[in-house]
Amino acid sequence: MPVKIGPSESMSKSKKNTIDPEKIIKNYGADSVRLFILSDSPPEKDVQWSDEGINSSYKFIQKLWTLNQKIIQELDANHPPNQSNELEKITNKFIKEITHNIENFSYNKIIANFYETYSALNKIILNRIEKNKLVENYKKILVAINPVIPHFSNECMEMINVKENILWPEVDEKFLLEDNIKFIVQFNGKTRKIITSKKDTTESLLLSKIKEDNKLNEYLSNKNIQKKIFIPNKLINIITN
């Protein structure tokens, strides 16, 4: 007879303490079980079974379903086009990380990607996203999650009328370029602050920002600038005496 495993005990045939998978799947669904197994341990280790863990996976699937309902409502609203590319950034970051983690057998990291992307989508889903853009990006996300939670993925794709042959989505790198850059600000070789500015900010504009910063401007007070070392999108080092 299968034995219920405690919160810190490993399932092992040698210990004869395995769990009846049919019962667990019946209670929680196959997607929840797959999500739990992959999130719990790296593939080379035994699964640490716990009721809390499987419950957490089951609840997360329910959250994904609630998000799916919001997405369907937004599609029905048929919002007009807008210039935001926040959704594309979330989608392409997710695809890149999922692809990398699958190739490296980092299955527990994939689940972390799920949670991160869920939170990001939940924050922007009511931002009146254009229908075609929402369908295109949501389809890519559903394809990427399909190896882990195929039942959820397939049902959601049916709801948005995805019927064509599905290929693994490619990453569009242009959406992964940061609009803002963190510049290291140094005086005489010592880092004094990291400031954020637009990508490709010029040396003169960056220097103006430094002078507007009260703390950084103290390092320029009553000093002569002898030299400036500027590395675009990375660093500025101001040599003074």
Residue 4 has a pLDDT of 37
d(CA 5, CA 179): 49
Task: Give domain 178-240's CATH architecture.
Answer: Roll (3.10)
Residues 6+ apart with CB under 8 A from 49: 5, 6, 7, 9, 10, 11, 19, 40
Q: Where are the domains of the chain?
A: 21-174, 178-240
pLDDT at 103 over 50: yes
Task: Give domain 21-174's CATH architecture.
Answer: Orthogonal Bundle (1.10)
> What do you get for the CA distance between the two ends of the chain, in Å?
81
Per residue in 128-186, pLDDT (tens digit) is 999 999 999 999 999 999 999 999 999 999 999 887 778 999 999 988 877 778 899 99
Question: In 3D, which of 182, 180, 185 has the Cα closest to residue 228?
Answer: 185
Per residue in 17-63, pLDDT (tens digit) is 566 777 888 889 999 999 998 886 566 666 677 788 899 999 999 99
Residue 6 has a pLDDT of 42
Per residue in 192-241, pLDDT (tens digit) is 999 988 888 999 999 999 999 999 989 998 899 999 999 998 999 999 98
